[in-house]
Structure 1
Amino acid sequence: MWLEWWHWVKQYWYFLVIGLLAISVSGVLFLLLRSPTPKADVTDTFANESVSVAATTSTPSVATNSAGFVDVKGAVKKPGIYQVNANTRLFDVVRLAGGLAADADQQQINLAQQLSDQQVVFIPKIGEEVPTQYAAPVATADTTTTTGSVSSDANSDLVNLNTATAEELQQLTGIGQKKAELIIQFRTEQGGFQQPEDLKKVSGIGDKTFESLKDSVTV
């Protein structure tokens, strides 16, 4: 009997090996399929997504903190306080205020004007003048100044005949030490220069000399 079994095993051994392999593979697959999915990965992924969303949504709050408010008065449909930011223009605020009133004078306003925090915006009616305290500033390339400041800046490089020292006067074309002293003597005796042309009343300064330096002096 044992011999018959042994001969059978020798003849069909590969069927036995295949059967054992099949049982082993089936067992491994069964264990893998029944293993629970780790929940930690899902939690970590959700947490990371939450942090990402929070970081993304926090940016607008920075812009909100940098905003300001302007006071809109005059010929608009809804005068009041309106929020602005660094890029807000006058036409944006007018739109928030319901638009211009029917009697608004658009010739006196600049709808493209950029607004800033705590500014008062006054929209005049036709025939009405903008109060001085509400007048819009005049914008320049480097800074924003009033019209009066622009005039002062334009005159800042000129030599003032009524206040200049002898050394400053000698920087003018055709003015030496002697003429500088005469200019100071004249303004002392006459109470100052009323206009640049009065310079020709100083001894030694004629039309030719005045023409060469008239664009460099002021009073």
Structure 2
Amino acid sequence: MKTLKNLLIISLLCLLPATTAYAQLSEVTKQMPQAEAISINNADTEMLAKLPGIGKKKAQAIVDYREENGEFKSVSDLSQVKGIGKKLLAKLEGKLSL
């Protein structure tokens, strides 16, 4: 029983450096500069396709919609583009601008 207890303590101590490194990771990411948001009114298909969840077809659909209907008034207007819903908009939050 004593051996089991010692093994458990040693195992927990081995995990300690990993948990402190993980805690420090959030501090490092806060200090990193954030990438600039992509303008949905000015970006071309190549730039839009780099966004998570947006491939070449959706990027082209965004540009086509913009050309047919004019500039987007808000980022949420992207939901009018076929294939872009609430979940994708949530994923893109903070990565888009007008």
The aligned counterpart of 1:185 is: 64
Deviations 1:93-152 (A, max 9, x none): xxxxxxxxxxxxxxxxxxxxxxxxxxxxxxxxxxxxxxxxxxxxxxxxxxxxxxxxxxxx
Q: TM-score, normalised by structure 2?
A: 0.63
How far the C-alpha of 1:192 sits from its partner, in A, is 1.0
Once residues 182 and 192 of structure 1 are traced to their aligned partners in structure 2, the CA distance between those partners, rounded to angstroms, is 14
Identical aligned residues as a percent? 38
Query: For residues 60-209 of structure 1, what are the structure 2 equivalents within 5 Å?
Result: 157-209=36-88
Query: For residues 37-52 of structure 1, what are the structure 2 equivalents within 5 Å?
Result: none
Counterpart residue identity of residue 209, structure 1: L
Once residues 72 and 83 of structure 2 are traced to their aligned partners in structure 1, the CA distance between those partners, rounded to angstroms, is 16
Higher RCO (CA 8 Å, separation ≥ 6 residues): 2
Deviations 1:20-51 (A, max 9, x none): xxxxxxxxxxxxxxxxxxxxxxxxxxxxxxxx
What secondary structure, in the 3-state scheme, does the structure 2 residue paired with 1:215 have?
Answer: coil
What secondary structure, in the 3-state scheme, does the structure 2 residue paired with 1:172 have?
Answer: coil
How far the C-alpha of 1:214 sits from its partner, in A, is 2.0
Q: TM-score, normalised by structure 1?
A: 0.29
How far the C-alpha of 1:215 sits from its partner, in A, is 1.1
Once residues 186 and 179 of structure 1 are traced to their aligned partners in structure 2, the CA distance between those partners, rounded to angstroms, is 10
Alpha-carbon RMSD across the aligned residues, in angstroms, is 1.8
Gap regions ≥5 residues in structure 2: 1-34
